Amino acid sequence: MSDLRITEAFLYMDYLCFRALCCKGPPPARPEYDLVCIGLTGSGKTSLLSKLCSESPENVVSTTGFSIKAVPFQNAILNVKELGGADNIRKYWSRYYQGSQGVIFVLDSASSEDDLETARNELHSALQHPQLCTLPFLILANHQDKPAARSVQELQSKSSTEARIGAETVVVCWSKEVENVGQQVSE
């Protein structure tokens, strides 16, 4: 745990003690939301979530199966279930959708045309899934720092999500500079 996180924890504990002694009790609990994070292998799901959790990027290992991370924001906590993106794992994604209140779809904006087509198909499948079709989607166009990265306009024109065009939020990002994502999610 970093020194900054430890300092924040002590300040928060001091605040809770002050509120308990001098006021009417502890502050209201932050609401928690359960999200599912999906995307192909190598799209940057694990790196983005690690960055949002203030974890060291050196410890990032590609997810096999799934992992759950609590991503704290000022007004809420997002419990993100990250699902591995390998071919042999994607067929099981739908088993983990139940109870989700939102979807984060991460795509590699610098991937090959074949991988982009596969990502597009997986996105369409998720958009049409009965357990996800009514939920908010956040689509993250990752790896924008790579020379082959496509713009959001290029990705949207190739995406052609007829049923829900405009319903999704597309955020351009790269895992080394993820502050833009945190700001978008907290809004």
Known binding residues are 39-46, 63, 85, 142-145
Please report which helix (H) or strand (E) contains residue 170, including its range: strand 169-172
Is residue 97 helix, strand or coil?
Answer: coil
Which tokens hold the place of 72? Answer: 């704290």
Residue 33: closest CA among 104, 93, 91: 104
* Dihedral sign of CA atoms 90, 95, 96, 97 in order: positive
CA 25 – CA 23 distance, rounded (Å): 6
Which residue numbers belong to the known binding site for GTP?
Answer: 39-46, 85, 142-145
Which tokens hold the place of 163? Answer: 């049923």
Which residue numbers belong to the known binding site for Mg(2+)?
Answer: 46, 63
